Amino acid sequence: MKKFLVLSLFVVHLLAAQGIQTPEQLIKAMHDRYDGKWYKTLTFVQKTSQIKPDTTLVSTWYESFAFPGKMRIDMDSTSGMIINGDSLYVFRDGKLTATRLFTHTLLVLGFDVYFMQPQAVIAKLNELHFDFSLLREDTWQGRPVYVVGAKAGDLHTTQFWIDKERLLFVRLLEPAGADGTKTRETQFNKYVHLGNGWLAPEVVFMVENKVLMKEEYSDSRANPKLDLKLFDPKYWTTTRWW
């Protein structure tokens, strides 16, 4: 009976996916699949490997989230960053050193899409210059995907890739460099179930097919109780979850 139920749910999801013909329908399908199910808060310990030409620097960061729109990275006991809505706050040695408007593409596509209304997500993605007139299908790491923003064979134009069955973000490509001629790539890899949602415990950042940084997550916790002061820059030095 359990196997039959799992198979039935898979068929339902597959049939729903087959009805997706536009990027707008894709964003709505992503939202509807996990609306009310995805974990609302998240913490994990992050092994950060920064790969240089002659060495690799490895450090431990601590990340916390409250969805939608809230993210905090503690790089050590005094330095890191907060994202709250469309604002970025950067701290060094316990002091706020920079503030600016910032939309975190990975936060939107990897998490907030399951909480925000689809039209709000679409508006943000349009501001980030994804071409919503283009939707195609492709394959990534042996799995079928949707690609929004670029035609087949174009691996440079700003575009995002979504796993067709699971409706999870897996890949981002965008121009990089001072003149935009290089290509930056981000991968969300090795998805595992977490709570009633998913988490990619490996995130890879590349430029021109060279890995510059890799994140590996451990001690991942879904729905931990978090003090929202974590995401208020006024409390940077006085509030911790770890």
Q: What single-letter amino acid sits at 28?
A: K
In the prediction, which pLDDT does 191 show? 98
| 165 within domain boundaries | yes
Q: What is the pLDDT along the chain (242 residues), one digit of tens a residue?
A: 545 444 545 544 554 555 899 999 999 999 999 999 999 999 999 999 999 999 999 999 999 999 999 999 999 989 999 999 999 999 999 999 999 999 999 999 999 999 999 999 999 999 999 999 999 999 999 999 999 999 999 999 999 999 999 999 999 999 999 999 999 999 999 999 999 999 999 999 999 999 999 999 999 999 999 999 999 999 999 999 98
In the prediction, which pLDDT does 12 show? 47
| 83 within domain boundaries | no
C-alpha to C-alpha distance for 164 and 38, rounded to whole angstroms = 18
In the prediction, which pLDDT does 3 show? 52
In the prediction, which pLDDT does 4 show? 45
8 A C-beta contact, residue 67 and residue 54: no
| Per-residue burial over 49-81, b = 16 or more CB atoms within 10 Å of its CB, e = otherwise | eeeeeeeeeeeebbbbbbbbbbbbbbbeeebbb
| 235 within domain boundaries | no
Q: Residue 193 sits in a domain of what CATH number?
A: 2.50.20
Q: How many domains does the chain have?
A: 1
In the prediction, which pLDDT does 62 show? 98
The residue range of the domain holding 24 is 2-39+47-61+104-219
| 85 within domain boundaries | no
Residue position matching structure tokens 């981000």: 186
In the prediction, which pLDDT does 18 show? 57
In the prediction, which pLDDT does 13 show? 52
71 contacts: CB under 8 Å, gap ≥ 6: 63, 64, 65, 82, 83, 104, 107, 231
| 90 within domain boundaries | no
| 239 within domain boundaries | no
In the prediction, which pLDDT does 1 show? 52
| 227 within domain boundaries | no
| 164 within domain boundaries | yes
Distance from chain centroid for Cα 150: 19
